[in-house]
Amino acid sequence: MNYTKRADISENRQHSILSMNMLLILAISCGMSVANLYYSQPLLADMAQTFQVSARQMGTISMLTQTGYAVGLFLFVPLGDIKEKKRLILYLLGAVSLSLLGVAFASNPTILGIASFAVGTTTVVPQIIVPLAAQLADAKEQGRIVGIVMSGLFFGILLARTVSGIIGSILGWRSMYFIAACMMLGLDLILFRFLPVSKPTSQLTYRQTMCSLWGFITSQPILCEAALMGGLLFGSFSVFWTTLAFFIKQPPYHYGAEVAGLFGLIGAAGSSFAPYAGRLADKKGPRLVVGVASTTTLLAFVCLWLLGKNLWGLIIGVIFLDLGVQSAQISNQARVYSLVPEAKSRLNTIYMVTYFIGGALGSYLGMYAWSLWQWNGVCLVGSLMILFSLVIWSIGRTHQQAQQQIH
């Protein structure tokens, strides 16, 4: 099929192109591609054993992956406003396939770290697809559409841990990365066949596009609030998931990588609420949903802290953690996309770079806290990050009320 002959996306065809089948393709693509960031988490203990390094040293692998993702978001996602999105997505999927093979062939921790950073840098396809879905959606349905696509992304995050845990326990952790590379090549072919060509929404050069990011940061307080909250909440999420494999390897659990991965299925119960969070954000306003979701995340860490050594307490904590973080993510992105419609990719860049910087910080702080204070330290760090996010939410709410009184 001739790539250049596919129909361009125009405003009068957006609704027809965004059919349920296309939504399904976009959601599955997000889930499959974002999974590359999370395959390592249930396998970190096995990787540490392979290379004979400490848990704290192996924790840097997760941090490097998320840091690479933040770098990739900064470098590549702004191109979504000024370049044709389909071609960009196809190139990135090819690059991430090579990066995943680099992890599979890594012969020492240094090469593993470099390859993991490359995986993160090239796994930014979901953050090009989500603004594309918002671009195709009717303005009144952006929250619902983003919620559907993001639910695919969230299930990809959670199922990645389950799949990698099972495959890692049966075939070894390297096999997971060989399989992932093949999956990305397959996805590349599928999207080449079905993804529509999209017109750029901006005529800026790349340099102008990058320079414009600072203007959005200084002129959009809601963007800054959402980005900081998202980063802190995802940081708390990473604190938990980076350390879980080490926690359940100890008494009273004595579980391996396959069980650590199965906790991803438990978290799927929270992810199933994600589309409803988008609808609720459309009806009640995303700020309210973000505040409730952040409080839910804090309650999850209280449960994990007090009851985490009981299996049922750990399960309840995981469900509420995923419910809170993912509901906040959808609501935050819905309000970010509504700020400057023609700059969705650039707004998403600022939001998601901050988001994954928070995730990388959470991964590092989680392993550091684990090495010093074990589970108590992990829960303390996660709780503090959420409390900081609630402080930011309260300040933003007060500022919004003051602005309403003025007007």
- Tens digits of residue pLDDT in 335-375: 887 888 777 778 888 898 899 889 889 988 998 999 889 99
Average pLDDT over residues 288-316: 92
pLDDT computed for residue 398 by the predictor:
77
Domain that holds residue 19: 14-406
Which residues share a beta bridge with 9? 198
In a domain, 310, yes or no: yes
DSSP string, 55-96: HHHHHHHHHHHHHHHHHHHHHHTTHHHHS-HHHHHHHHHHHH
In a domain, 20, yes or no: yes
Whichever domain contains 134, its CATH number is 1.20.1250.20
How many Cα atoms are found within 13 Å in the side-chain-facing hemisphere of 378?
26
pLDDT-based confidence at 1, cuts 50/70/90? very low
What is the spatial distance between Cα 332 and Cα 130, in angstroms, rounded to a whole number? 13
Please indicate whether residue 342 or residue 87 has the higher confidence score (pLDDT). Answer: 87
pLDDT-based confidence at 404, cuts 50/70/90? low
- Residue 2 predicted with pLDDT over 50: no
In a domain, 6, yes or no: no
Please give the C-alpha separations between residue 13 and each of 16, 136, 198, 380, in angstroms, as whole numbers: 5, 9, 11, 50
- Residue 406 predicted with pLDDT over 50: yes
What is the spatial distance between Cα 341 and Cα 327, in angstroms, rounded to a whole number? 22
Q: Ranked by mean pLDDT, which of 22-26, 102-106, 331-335 comes out on top?
A: 102-106
Q: Which two tokens stand for residue 223?
A: 């963007």
DSSP 37: G
What is the spatial distance between Cα 185 and Cα 181, in angstroms, rounded to a whole number? 6
Cis peptide before 126 (omega within 30 of 0): no
What is the spatial distance between Cα 268 and Cα 266, in angstroms, rounded to a whole number? 5
Q: What domain count does the chain have? A: 1
In a domain, 8, yes or no: no
What is the spatial distance between Cα 400 and Cα 285, in angstroms, rounded to a whole number? 13
Which residues share a beta bridge with 198? 9
What is the spatial distance between Cα 210 and Cα 213, in angstroms, rounded to a whole number? 6
Query: Do residues 325 and 293 lie in contact, with contact meaning Cβ atoms separated by under 8 Å?
Result: yes
In a domain, 3, yes or no: no
**Average pLDDT across the chain, whole number:** 84
pLDDT-based confidence at 140, cuts 50/70/90? low
Q: Does this model's pTM top 0.85?
A: no
Query: Do residues 157 and 34 lie in contact, with contact meaning Cβ atoms separated by under 8 Å?
Result: yes
pLDDT digit string (tens) for 269-283? 766 666 676 677 767
Residue from 169, 267, 211 nearest 78 by CA: 211
Secondary structure, 3-state, 344-404:
HHHHHHHHHHHHHHHHHHHHHHHHHHHHHHHHHHHHHHHHHHHHHHHHHHHHHHHHHHHHH
C-alpha dihedral sign at 108, 164, 262, 380: positive
In a domain, 231, yes or no: yes
Three-state secondary-structure class, residue 283: helix
In a domain, 22, yes or no: yes
